């Protein structure tokens, strides 16, 4: 007596290699299932039998290009692990958690550069340090905390204390005056705070950023104050973010006036090239020329979505709190 096995018919038709390739490719892009199914159906209708399959040829080219990029990525990242922007002052100072280029003429850094890791942001946060100190590594002497007393300006962090909250020593170093620049209270406690928090949110997704941040010292100062009127209050600040670790390599710059703002962060997105032109600083000189040109010449706002609820909080609450506290001071 022979045995028979009854197999229920599949509810879905068997796909050929072309259909499977299209489905897998579109799924990797994160498209909704319905859209993927419609696209596969359209593909099946137009590309059957002996029809020239330009669609799968295109997919093959994209996947081969991505594979080559992934193969080159480790060497690229390793090559710029010791990256630094150029210094127009020739006074570069390396601390454990960030590096800076100091401008004696303005008694503040022209840039502060550091690496921000998503893993570090996930660690338990140490208590916020609150003691600003002069930087002993600045041979000519950095600004002093007392220079800001009754100046009307905040001691504005460039490498944020919250970015350094994974380590007591890192937090302590972030309060060195060589990491500080004069900021209007409504700026520091408003849009600058928003950009700092948004950067951390982006990094939690992207896992790693190269960050360069600083005042624009090529513009005439808003005001001079402190000992010998050496401290220059900048008119603008910039921040540059570079993401090389993920498959979606991207970069963006921000140029923000040192004042209160009710506009969204997207209004201040600019190309890195434009910041380099204004400041005279080359931010990522160790990048291969073709990649540097591509990343620094343009940016895609949709790849940097900001938190609209935080934006409303800034406009509706933070800006008002900053204005009120300044009156009390």
Q: Is 157 a catalytic residue?
A: yes
Strand residue runs (E) in 15-123: 92-94, 99-103, 108-117
Only one residue has tokens 């009390």, namely 328
Q: Which of the following is catalytic: 95, 129, 157, 208?
A: 157
What is the Cα gyration radius of the chain? Answer: 26
φ, ψ for residue 226, nearest 5 deg: 85, -170
313/317 Cα distance (integer angstroms): 5
DSSP string, 158-208: SS-GGGGTT-HHHHHHTTBGGGEEEE-HHIIIIIHHHHHHHHHHHHHHHSE
CA distance 216 to 247: 32
Alpha carbon 257 to its chain's center: 18
What letter does residue 118 receive in the DSSP assignment? Answer: H
Point out the residues that are catalytic: 157
């Amino acid at each position: 007596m022979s045995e028979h096995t009854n197999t229920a018919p599949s509810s879905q038709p068997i796909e050929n290699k072309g259909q499977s390739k299209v489905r897998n490719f579109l799924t990797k892009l994160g498209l909704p299932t319905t859209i993927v199914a419609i696209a596969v159906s359209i593909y099946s209708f137009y590309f059957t039998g002996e029809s020239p399959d330009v669609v799968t040829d295109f997919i093959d080219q994209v996947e081969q290009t991505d594979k080559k990029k992934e193969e080159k990525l480790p060497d690229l990242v390793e090559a710029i692990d010791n990256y630094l922007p150029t210094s127009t002052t020739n006074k570069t100072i390396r601390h454990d958690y960030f590096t800076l280029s100091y401008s004696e003429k303005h008694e503040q850094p022209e840039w502060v550069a550091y690496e921000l890791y998503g893993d570090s942001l996930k660690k338990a946060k140490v208590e916020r340090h609150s003691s600003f100190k002069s930087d002993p590594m600045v041979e000519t002497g950095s600004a002093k905390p007392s220079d800001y007393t009754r100046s009307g300006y905040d001691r504005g962090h460039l490498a944020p204390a919250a970015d350094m909250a994974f380590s007591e020593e890192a937090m302590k170093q972030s309060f060195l005056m060589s990491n500080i620049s004069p900021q209007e209270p409504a700026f520091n406690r408003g849009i600058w705070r928003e950009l700092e928090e948004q950067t951390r949110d982006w990094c939690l997704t992207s896992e790693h950023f190269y960050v360069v941040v600083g005042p624009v010292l090529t513009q005439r100062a808003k005001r001079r104050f402190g000992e010998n009127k050496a401290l220059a209050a900048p008119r603008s600040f910039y921040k540059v973010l570079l993401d090389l670790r993920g498959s979606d390599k991207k970069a963006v710059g921000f140029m923000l006036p040192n004042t209160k703002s009710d506009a969204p962060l997207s209004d201040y997105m600019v190309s890195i090239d434009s910041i380099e032109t204004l400041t005279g600083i080359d931010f990522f000189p160790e990048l291969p020329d073709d990649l540097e040109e591509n990343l620094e010449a343009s940016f895609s706002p949709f790849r940097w979505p900001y938190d609209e609820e935080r934006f409303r909080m800034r406009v509706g609450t933070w800006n008002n709190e900053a204005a009120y506290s300044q009156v009390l001071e």
